[in-house]
């Protein structure tokens, strides 16, 4: 288990994304694309996910932002907004069914640079199984 605070999220998570080989499941409340600022930490993070898709990592995303959904779909990812009246507020990433990352970080420049955030990286098989079940139950909504 690794606790991630504030600005450290990209530092810990980007290497895990770069090492992904099979799958990446993401559900996130707020995810932004910074086309006008390619050097922004969040945009670098975004590009790492795009590169994973281009490496043929299977990526499934549940998000609330239609812009990011469309960008990810154009890159070969499965991405959607849930058809539910409930607000999707959780933040969860599952990498290769081996690592789960959850906490308060959205995928925004504010979350990665300014906000007081806390997330955790987990590699416990039982917890990851529960997170995967949770994600799969959301995916079919």
User: What's the rounded Cα separation, in Å, for the pair 78 and 35?
Assistant: 21
8-38: per-residue pLDDT in tens? 999 999 999 999 999 999 999 999 999 999 9
Q: Count structural domains, the chain.
A: 1
- Mean pLDDT of all residues in 29-54: 97
Question: Other CB atoms closer than 10 Å to residue 37's CB: what's the count?
Answer: 12
User: What's the rounded Cα separation, in Å, for the pair 141 and 138?
Assistant: 5
The Cα angle at residue 122 between residues 117 and 20, in degrees rounded to 5: 100
61 closest CA partner among 23, 11, 34, 98: 23
- Mean pLDDT of all residues in 34-60: 98
Q: What is the mean pLDDT of the chain?
A: 97
pLDDT at 133: 98
The CATH number given to whatever domain includes residue 25 is 3.30.870.10
Place of tokens 């043929």: 56
CA 97, 73, 19, 82 dihedral sign is: negative
Q: Per residue in 80-100, is it b (16+ CB within 10 Å) or e — as a string?
A: eebeeeeebeebbbbbbeebb
Domain hosting residue 107, numbered range: 2-139
Place of tokens 């980007």: 14
């Amino acid at each position: 288990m690794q606790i991630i605070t504030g600005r450290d999220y990209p530092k810990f998570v980007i290497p895990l994304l770069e090492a992904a080989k099979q799958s990446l499941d993401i559900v996130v409340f707020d995810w932004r694309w910074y086309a006008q600022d390619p050097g922004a930490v969040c945009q670098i993070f975004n590009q790492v996910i795009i590169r994973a898709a281009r490496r043929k990592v299977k990526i499934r995303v549940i998000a609330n932002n239609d812009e990011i959904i469309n960008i990810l779909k154009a890159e070969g990812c499965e991405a959607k907004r849930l058809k539910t009246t409930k607000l999707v507020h959780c933040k969860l990433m599952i990498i290769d069914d081996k690592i789960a990352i959850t906490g308060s970080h959205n995928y925004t420049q504010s979350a990665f640079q300014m906000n007081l955030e806390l997330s955790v990286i987990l590699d416990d098989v039982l917890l990851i199984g529960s997170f995967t079940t949770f994600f799969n139950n959301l995916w079919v909504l």
